[in-house]
Amino acid sequence: MALWCMGMPTTGTAQEGPIEATWADSVIEQLAGSTIDDYEATMPVARRLFGYYRQRHDTCHMAQAAVAMGSCYDALGKLDSSLYILLQADRWKEKNCDPELPFRVALNLSSVYLSLGEFDRVDSVCAHALERRIDGARSKHHSDLLFNRAVARAENGDIQGADERFKELEELARANNDDSNEIDALLNRGALHGIMKDGAGARRFLSKALHRCNEVDCPMRATILLNLGALANDDGSHAEALALADSARSTARSHGDLYLQMRAVAMMSEAAHLNGDHARSWDLTKEHVALRDSLLDAEKVRAVSDVREKYETEKRMRQIKELEVEKLDAELRETQLQRTRNVYLFSGIAVVLLAGGLWNRLRFVDRARRAIQHEKDISEGLLLNILPEEVAEELKEKGEAEAVLFDQVTVLFTDFKGFTALSEVLTPKELVKDLHECFSAFDRICEVHGLEKIKTIGDAYMAAGGLPTPNTTHATDVIRAALEMRDFIAKGKMHKIAAGLPYFEIRIGVHTGPVVAGIVGVKKFSYDIWGDTVNTASRMESSGEPGKVNISEATYALVKGAMKENDVNGVVNGHNAQHATRQPATGPAFTFTPRGKVQAKGKGEMEMYFVEALAG
């Protein structure tokens, strides 16, 4: 489902002078319902509106502008920025704001989580929004939320649950004469039934989708034809598959869609080959190669444009951060001055009490104060076991803690090999005891190296360096901690083998990049991080090997900057990494073994490195 994203208003533009209230209110109203035409042109308008309403402490309109920014960030592929600003919007939506605002926030948040592969969060966000009503009626975004929830179910492997959600969407769309969502639902139900090996059901839903599409001339016609063609090929009806793919090619060509043209020609080539027409199959193969090259050329042009835009964006962000640092410095000086005043004030009160001869009363007050302080210390100790100190302080002072975007942190994931098999030979008590011993050691290692433990998920352990207080050593800190964790498990394995007991083996993955961090929930809350960096760190772990610490190219590039030039011995350097000789590279603290490009689930091929501590 396409993102709900506001577009450029047709009346009024963001001018350089001061914003007028009538212009701002008019444009924000237009942004609240229009679809996007130009993401890049919409963004500066939304930013200016956000700044305007922030100065006026108008949180409802701030949230509307934040949703516009977040949805456009998502469409432009800047997922971390999108998640950060949308989480802010979620905090600002109030009961007296536009009734549709919570649904727009939920829809855009679920779309970002879909892009990040966090499907459980998608399901949770959508389910909560779908339960809500506006004066007893459904939101106008109900269908889109239902669509995102169905996709999340399918991505999580719940094919039956996804089909039920799409069936609900199909029936709702038909009742509302919503052609687009009805066709979308039928197309996806056809695909799901294909996954379930129900060829007859898949063909039935796809044929219904094609019939409705022909009635309204929808843009999904080529995709539906390709799905029907795939079914025909599977059934051995290669002539039918060839005809369907040919129709898909014509439709894609009329819409200028190179990717669908390429897919259609590939299917035609396969069908012709299976039908015995090898000469036509060869001609179609050459056409497929030409289309692929055209598509790659278009991607190269887009990539150059993206690099230029990224440079300009980073330049602006540096200027903004410099201003923020100056402002923060001034606020800090004022805070320190205020604290000094408070110390003198409380000292004065104590003198008055003693001079008044209230010793007994003061002693009673002191005992009560000590008891209260003792309870406070206990509660604060518990809070600091759950949250980082800086976040805990913010929570105590404000009653809430804002989500924060960190430009660069290093994330660590661990996972035990064969944990499921091990759980079958150990009693639950023994299993929990072993896990507790391992995770307690990991906690101590993280504390020593200044890492923040994020959470455990079953037998997986997650931590990060460089937050909540940013630093420049997070990559090396995390690698040292990872190696200590690996060595701890290796020693435990040796003892278990000697005793004839089952043992753990561990894989560890590390990646560096931006994340959004904040508190999840209002009860039993926890400090968590989100973003593609987290997903990539997990892929580093799953793509590694037992007893090894597997790091990404981003982490390697950061750490190798500290390497001594005269110690470099076969180092893999930036642009020529994929052509380098596969031999260890040494640095002041670590040795790196390049692995080349390794296939990572959902990420494609990625450069990876095994890292070891330098002997001596």
- How many Å apart are CA 460 and CA 352, to the nearest integer? 58
Q: How far is CA 410 from the centre of its chain?
A: 15
Q: Which two tokens stand for residue 383?
A: 């809070």
The values of phi and psi at residue 512, to 5°, are: -120, 140
DSSP 157-192: T-HHHHHHHHHHHHHHHHHTT-HHHHHHHHHHHHHH
pLDDT of residue 76: 82
pLDDT of residue 372: 45
Q: Spell out, as residue ranges, where the chain has pLDDT lower than 70.
A: 1-19, 33-34, 36, 95, 296-402, 418, 420-421, 423-425, 520-526, 562-588, 615-616
Q: Give the 3-state secondary structure of residue 555.
A: helix
Residues of the chain with CATH 3.30.70.1230: 401-613
pLDDT of residue 304: 42
CATH of domain 1-156: 1.25.40.10
Separation of first and last alpha carbons in the chain: 56
DSSP 278-341: HHHHHHHHHHHHHHHHHHHHHHHHHHHHHHHHHHHHHHHHHHHHHHHHHHHHHHHHHHHHHHHH
For residue 326, count other CB atoms closer than 10 A to its CB: 10
Residues of the chain with CATH 1.25.40.10: 1-156
The values of phi and psi at residue 493, to 5°, are: -60, -45
Please choose, from the candidates 551, 545, 614, the residue with its C-alpha nearest in 3D space to the C-alpha of residue 585: 614
Label residue 145 exposed, middle or buried (CB < 10 Å: 0-12, 13-18, 19+): buried
Q: Which two tokens stand for residue 438?
A: 């391992």
Q: Which two tokens stand for residue 2?
A: 């396409």
Buried b (16+ CB within 10 A) or exposed e, 563-595: beeeeeeebbeeeebeeeeeebbbbeebbbebb
Buried b (16+ CB within 10 A) or exposed e, 18-37: ebeeebbeebbebbbebebe
Residue 267, C-beta contacts closer than 8 angstroms, at least 6 positions apart? 226, 229, 230, 233, 241, 245, 248
CATH of domain 157-216: 1.25.40
For residue 190, count other CB atoms closer than 10 A to its CB: 25
State how beta strands 549-552 and 505-520 pair. Answer: parallel
Q: In the CATH hierarchy, which top-level class contains the domain 401-613?
A: alpha beta
pLDDT of residue 389: 63
| DSSP count for the chain of H helices, then E strands | 21, 9
Q: What share of the chain is helix, strand, coil (3-state, %, to 5)?
A: 65, 10, 25
- Alpha carbon separation from 106 to 86, 93, 239, 369 (Å, rounded): 9, 11, 46, 45
- How many Å apart are CA 52 and CA 324, to the nearest integer? 18
For residue 139, count other CB atoms closer than 10 A to its CB: 20
